[in-house]
Every structure is written in C-alpha cells, then in structure tokens.
Amino acid sequence: MTPPLIDPFARMIEYLRVSVTDRCDFRCVYCMAENMTFLPKKELLTLEELDRMCSAFIRLGVKKLRITGGEPLVRRDIMTFFRGMTRHLEDGSLTELTLTSNGSQLERFADDLFAAGVRRINISLDTLDDAKFAQITRWGRLPQVLRGIDTAQKAGLRVKINTVALQGFNEDELFTLTDWCASRDIDLTFIEVMPMGDLGNEDRLGQYWSLKDLRAQLAQQYTLTDLTERTGGPARYVQIAQTGQKIGFITPLSHNFCESCNRVRITCTGEIYTCLGQEGHSDLRGPLRASEADVDLENAIRAAIALKPKGHDFDYSRQQVDGQVSRHMSHTGG
C-alpha cells in the first residue's frame, strides 16, 4: 500500500486543484490585471506532463481533481487531457473530475466534458446585469455565459454558481441571484474577496462584504438551516426552506476554514502551493522532467506536503489589508 499524503497537522491531502493555463478570455478585477503579461508557453507543463503530474497525485491518494486556470477551456486541446483523466474515474482511483470555469466556452465543450466523466462544474458569475458584468470582467459577455450554462445543464452537468461578494457592486443583487439560481435548480456559493495580486486601483478593503452580513440579509427573507454536508472544499452550507436550494459560504476572512484544509494547488508551470494564502511553494516541474520514472516526483510531492502551513493570514479586521499575497489568483488557479 502506498502511504497517503498527510501534512504536519494530520490533514490527509485528497483534493488537488490544477491550473492548466494562466490565460483567460476575461479580466475580472479581483483576479488579474487588465493588461496581464502571461507566461511564455514553453514554461507551461505540456498536456502529457499535466497527465503524469495528476496521475502521480492520484497514486498517492488524491480522490478529487479540479481543473482551473485562468480559464481552463481556452487551453488548446484541453479535452485531450480530460479524456486522459477518464481512466482514473473508470478504475475507481479518482472519485471526481471537475472544473471551475467562467462559462464562456461551455457552448463548445459541455457535451465533451460530460463524455469525459465530468458531472459537476463551478461557474464564476458575480452579476446578472449586462453592464455590471462587462465592468467586473472587463472583457466578458454575459449572454455568452448564460448560453454556456444552458448548454451545460442540457448536457447533464450539475452547475454551481460561485459569486464573489463585492460591497457596492452586487449587494443589490443578493436576492436576484438567489432567486435566479433557485429557478434554474442551481446551487449558489458566495465567496469573500481575497487580498491577492497587485491591488493597483482595486480597493480590496472597500470591496470586502462580510458573509456574516450577507447571511444575515438572506435570513431576513428566507429560513436558513445549517447543513453538515461537506464537499471537500472550504464552503459551509445552508438550505433555504422556501426554495429547497443549497447556499454555500466561503469565508477566508470572517471565518478561517483552514483547520479542515485537505487540498493543494499546482500551477500551470508545475509549482505546488500548499496554501492559497501563503507565498511558500515548491518546484515539481524539475523532478518531473528530470526522469521518466516518477520516484523523484513522488518524493518531491511528499516533501512539499511536509511544508504545508497551518493556514493563511488574510485579515481586514484592523481596517487594513493584511496577509496579502503578491501573485494574482489566476496564477495559482483559484
């Protein structure tokens, strides 16, 4: 038996998030700069290397694999990678293959994703207003995303919407978004904005909308029941009695969720970040490319897991942005 991946705080690592590209066809203000300098393509792991990397983690006990970006579906020939991962679903070593997307490419790929074994997909959507959507994504087109969601549901994919709670931006859409998701049988998760990347002109403190306050507003109109359900991620869930839908809350600032963290992240260049909110990382591309055998790679993975910190240091409580990390969200893969 291969020993499982266990970090210094006795957390078993079973969830891997892999960025397959730093590129995206949107420029969401909390994720990346408008004029991004992207990595040279030669620095990215090839699709074959991504397959080998993920397969090594699966051998070491990873059960859930989430593909991210950037926007993962803009990576050329990405379905080759998804189809390759299907073998791990078929032999039972992987229990879930999923992805996070902005929805822009789902009209093209939803059926292929379902055929590859994907059954759930998270779609980032912060507003249902055309003008505000163009503002928050800079380059995005809301009708294209809504068509993608339609296509995904028709293909049989279970859709969950991820909405970043932004003070002064989508506060007035709290009930609009909730009711829209309920009408479509779509689950909804709210996320607190995190201090990542060069803030530039973006006021993270001014954008911060505590989910404690958001939940209190929801409770004024709906009856909320806490659920014990966990999906392997940081969200805590409630059920709305009036609609039956599930609402999630990801609260890296108002309630640190690190005690149950079972995940690590791989960048598209083969760096492993064992905490989204810390700068510490290790190189896996070197040992991956050093030998066709995976002994060095597996040893490097175990060494990286041994350095996983207890948690992040995100904090706005003193009315200043503490715990900020310099890399953009798109670099690590969300």
Residue 135 has pLDDT above 70, yes or no: yes
| pLDDT (tens digit per residue) in 158-192 | 999 999 999 999 999 999 999 999 999 999 999 98
Domain-located, residue 123: yes
CA 334 to chain CA centroid, nearest Å: 4
Beta strands 158-165; 120-124: pairing state: parallel
**Residue owning tokens 């992207």:** 38
15 is in an annotated binding site: no
Report the domain count for the chain.
1
Domain-located, residue 25: yes
Domain-located, residue 153: yes
Q: What does the pLDDT read at residue 207?
A: 72
Q: What does the pLDDT read at residue 33?
A: 78
Residue 88 has pLDDT above 90, yes or no: yes
Q: How confident is the model at residue 34 (pLDDT cuts 50, 70, 90)?
A: confident
Helix orientation angle between 106-115 and 78-90, rounded to the nearest 10 degrees? 30
Residue 328 has pLDDT above 60, yes or no: no
Domain-located, residue 256: yes
Residues 312, 275: contact at Cβ < 8 Å? yes
Average pLDDT, the chain: 88
Q: What are the helix (H) ranges across the chain?
A: 47-59, 78-90, 106-115, 130-137, 142-155, 174-183, 204-207, 211-221, 285-290, 295-305, 329-332
70 is in an annotated binding site: yes
CA distances from 136 to 43, 172, 258, 271, 326 (A): 29, 15, 28, 29, 21
Q: What does the pLDDT read at residue 304?
A: 96
Q: What does the pLDDT read at residue 32?
A: 78
Domain-located, residue 10: no
Mean pLDDT, residues 223-249 taken together: 88
| pLDDT (tens digit per residue) in 277-291 | 677 899 999 999 999
Specify the DSSP class assigned to residue 331.
H
83 is in an annotated binding site: no
302 is in an annotated binding site: no
Residue 122 has pLDDT above 80, yes or no: yes
261 is in an annotated binding site: yes
Domain-located, residue 261: yes
Domain containing 236 equals 15-332
295 is in an annotated binding site: no
| pLDDT (tens digit per residue) in 202-233 | 555 567 888 999 999 999 999 999 998 776 56
Q: How confident is the model at residue 324 (pLDDT cuts 50, 70, 90)?
A: very low
Domain-located, residue 251: yes
Q: Which residues contact 327 (CB under 8 A, 6 or more apart)?
A: 196, 197, 279
Which CATH number do you get for residue 189?
3.20.20.70
Residues 175, 221: contact at Cβ < 8 Å? yes
24 is in an annotated binding site: yes
* Three-state secondary structure call for residue 116: coil
326 is in an annotated binding site: no
Cis link prior to 311 (omega < 30° from 0)? no
Regarding predicted confidence, which is higher, 40 or 59? 59
28 is in an annotated binding site: yes
For 118-137, b/e burial (b = at least 16 CB within 10 A) is bebbbbbbbbbbeebbeebb
Domain-located, residue 280: yes
What pTM does this model have? 0.87
Residue 265 has pLDDT above 90, yes or no: yes
* Three-state secondary structure call for residue 139: coil
Q: What does the pLDDT read at residue 330?
A: 53
225 is in an annotated binding site: no
Determine what percent of the chain is predicted with pLDDT higher than 90: 69
Q: What does the pLDDT read at residue 36?
A: 81
**Residue owning tokens 């041994």:** 306
Residues 45, 21: contact at Cβ < 8 Å? no
Q: How many other C-beta atoms can be found within 10 angstroms of the C-beta atom of residue 174?
A: 17
236 is in an annotated binding site: no
